[in-house]
């Protein structure tokens, strides 16, 4: 099986949006994950969405997923309606640049799975109208949905054909999730897979984004997870996603070239 390998631009976060796109193409990736906040910043500085569309077309990159929808899971009353307006704007922007998915991030603080599931259903309805599918995420250092099996429960309980989960190697390890947890998820319900590694010598449940290290430098069972995706006939992308300040200070092109080499080694 041949996976498309893409770059989440958090890996080279300090770079400007257009540079992120150009560098991703120069390094040889198939596609690029973009952050909505980066696009907002670009527009705020006088840029146009059409500029981004032209750059993507010129480089031949596709956008497999955009990031992110936040605060929808915990907002109450009139604030929830405000958040849904922002959700709609972000979804329409994601759809315009050709992204089939947008990440729906759970609340940072504790929240009931029932409420999160109900709200996720709302996102799915808005997404159908906007032309993009919200894929549900778990964050290992958050306090609501932080394990793979919790996120999969939300996706199942949503009872919607468009409901999917986004998997992440770092969050799997840091939340003490297992390959068995992944094994319970059908391949066609996995929208996207983030590949990264967890730092050596730091315990599970205590690492944060900055502890993600280059693929192959950490403790995650990346080969085991990739083999499981192959067994499931997973059809999505493998996307390098790092948030490491040490890597941000290095030459961005060299960092993502190395990342692509490492991902290809794992994928085989």
Q: How does pLDDT run across 187-233, given as a tens digit for each residue? A: 999 999 999 999 999 999 999 999 999 999 999 999 999 999 999 99
Look at the block and give the residue holding tokens 């696009």: 39
Look at the block and give the residue holding tokens 């040490």: 246
Those residues with Cβ within 8 angstroms of residue 110's Cβ, 6 or more apart along the chain or in another chain: 143, 144
* Model pLDDT for residues 76-116, shown as the tens digit of each residue: 999 999 999 999 999 999 999 999 999 999 999 999 999 99
Distances (CA, A) of 174 to 153, 177, 179, 200, 207: 19, 8, 13, 11, 7
pTM, entire model: 0.97
Residue 172: pLDDT above 70? yes
CA 206/CA 217 separation, integer angstroms: 18
CA contacts within 13 A on the Cβ side of 29: 34
Q: By three-state DSSP, how is residue 235 classified? A: coil
**Average pLDDT score, the chain:** 98
CA 174/CA 198 separation, integer angstroms: 7
CATH 3.40.50.10540 fits 4-267, yes or no: no
Phi, psi of 2 (to 5 degrees): -110, 115
pLDDT confidence of residue 1 = 59
Confidence of residue 2 (pLDDT cuts 50, 70, 90): confident
């Amino acid at each position: 099986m041949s996976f498309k390998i893409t770059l989440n631009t958090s890996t080279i976060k300090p770079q400007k949006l257009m540079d992120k796109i150009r560098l991703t193409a120069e390094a040889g990736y198939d596609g690029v994950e973009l952050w909505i906040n980066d696009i907002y910043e670009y527009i705020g500085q006088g840029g146009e969405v059409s500029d981004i569309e032209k750059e993507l077309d010129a480089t031949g990159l596709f956008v497999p997923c955009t990031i992110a929808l936040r605060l929808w899971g915990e907002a109450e009353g009139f604030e929830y309606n405000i958040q849904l307006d922002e959700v709609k704007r972000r979804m329409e922007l994601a759809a315009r640049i050709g992204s089939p998915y947008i990440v729906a991030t759970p609340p940072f603080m504790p929240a009931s799975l029932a409420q999160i599931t109900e709200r996720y259903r709302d996102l799915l309805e808005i997404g159908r109208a906007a032309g993009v599918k919200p894929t549900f995420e778990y964050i290992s250092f958050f306090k609501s949905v932080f394990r793979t099996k919790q996120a999969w429960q939300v996706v199942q309980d949503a009872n919607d054909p468009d409901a999917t989960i986004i998997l992440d190697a770092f969050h799997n390890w840091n939340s003490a999730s297992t390959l068995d947890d992944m094994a319970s998820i059908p391949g066609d319900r996995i929208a996207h897979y983030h590949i990264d590694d967890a730092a050596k010598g730091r315990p599970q449940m205590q690492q944060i984004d900055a502890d993600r290290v280059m693929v192959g430098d950490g403790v995650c069972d990346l080969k085991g997870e990739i083999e499981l995706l192959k067994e499931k006939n997973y059809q999505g992308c493998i996307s390098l996603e790092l948030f490491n300040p040490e890597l941000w200070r290095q030459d961005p092109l060299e960092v993502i070239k190395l990342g692509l080499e490492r991902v290809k080694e794992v994928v085989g």
